[in-house]
Chain A
Amino acid sequence: MIYNTGIIFSWISFGLLIFLFFKNKHIYTEILVRLNLFIQIFLFCLLEIGLFLNDFSVSYIANYSAKSTPPLYKFASLWGSLDGSILLWNLCLSLFMYIYLKLYKDNSSDIDIKIFSLIMIFFVGYTVFSSSPFAGCIELAVVGCSNSTILPFQELVISNIGRGPNPLLQNHPLMAIHPPMLYVGYVGMTMPFVAATSRLYSKSDDTNAWVEVAEKTTYIPWLFLTIGITLGAAWSYEVLGWGGYWAWDPVENVSFIPWLLATAFLHSAKIQKSQNTLLNWNYILVGLMFLSTIFGTFVTRSGVLISVHAFSNGNIGTYLLFGMLFFGFIFIFIGSKNIEYFSKSKKIENWFGKSGFFVYNNIFLFSSALVIFIGTIFPLIYETLYNRQITIGRSYYDILVGPLLLILLGLMIFSVKLPIKNINIEKWIEENNILVNSSLILSIFILFYLNNSYILIFTVIISVLLIVITFSNFYKNYRNKKTNTSYWTGQIAHLGIGIFALGIIFNVSQSYSTEKEINSFEEFNFNNQTFFVYDSIEESLPEKNIIKLPISNGSNTKFTSLNIFKNSSQQAISSPAVFRTFLNDIYITVKFIDESSYKLIVRNNYGIFIMWIGLFISSISFLPRLRKYEK
Chain B
Amino acid sequence: MKNKYLTIFLLVLLMILPSIFPDNESRYEEWSKSLLCPVCQGETIYDSPSEYADDMGAVLLEQINNGMTDDEIYSFWVSRYGERIITNPINQNLEILIIPLVLISIFILLFVRKLYAKK
List chain A positions with a Cβ less than 8 A from chain B.
241-244, 247, 249-250, 277-278, 281, 306-308, 347-349, 359, 362-363, 366-367, 370-371, 374-375, 378-379, 388-396, 399-400, 429-430, 433-434, 436-438, 440-441, 443-444, 447-448, 450-454, 456-457, 461, 509, 512, 571, 574, 589, 591, 601
Determine the distance from Cα of A345 to Cα of B111 in the docked complex, in whole angstroms: 13
- Taking CB atoms, residues of chain B closer than 8 Å to A278 are 115
A371 touches B42 (CB 8 A): no
A348 in contact with B84 given A375-B100, A400-B100, A433-B2 (CB within 8 Å):
no
- Taking CB atoms, residues of chain B closer than 8 Å to A347 are 115-117
- Taking CB atoms, residues of chain A closer than 8 Å to B101 are 400
- Taking CB atoms, residues of chain A closer than 8 Å to B97 are 396, 399-400
A242 touches B14 (CB 8 A): no
Identify which of A452, A453, A512, A601 gathers the most chain B CB atoms within 10 Å of its CB: A452
Contact pattern, B 32-65, Cβ under 8 Å of A = 1, otherwise 0: 0110100001111001111100000000000000
Give B1-52 interface residues, CB cut-off 8 Å to A.
1-4, 6-7, 10-11, 13-15, 17-18, 20-24, 29, 33-34, 36, 41-44, 47-51
Least Cβ–Cβ distance between B56 and chain A, in angstroms? 14
Determine the distance from Cα of A109 to Cα of B24 in the docked complex, in whole angstroms: 65
A-B contact count (CB 8 A): 157
B1 touches A438 (CB 8 A): yes
Interface membership of B104, Cβ < 8 A = yes
The answer, among B7, B18, B41, B43, for a CB contact under 8 Å with A436, is: B7
Contact pattern, B 67-90, Cβ under 8 Å of A = 1, otherwise 0: 000000000000000111111111
- Taking CB atoms, residues of chain B closer than 8 Å to A247 are 42-43, 47
A574 touches B49 (CB 8 A): yes
Determine the distance from Cα of A627 to Cα of B49 in the docked complex, in whole angstroms: 48
- Taking CB atoms, residues of chain A closer than 8 Å to B66 are none
Beyond A392-B87, A437-B2, 11 additional contacts (C-beta under 8 Å) are: A249-B42, A348-B117, A390-B83, A394-B33, A394-B87, A396-B97, A434-B2, A440-B7, A444-B10, A444-B17, A457-B18
B10 touches A370 (CB 8 A): no
Least Cβ–Cβ distance between A172 and chain B, in angstroms? 17
Least Cβ–Cβ distance between A342 and chain B, in angstroms? 11
- Taking CB atoms, residues of chain B closer than 8 Å to A450 are 21
Least Cβ–Cβ distance between B51 and chain A, in angstroms? 8
A367 touches B104 (CB 8 A): yes
A308 touches B83 (CB 8 A): no
Which A-chain residue is minimally distant from B50 (CB atoms)?
Answer: A571
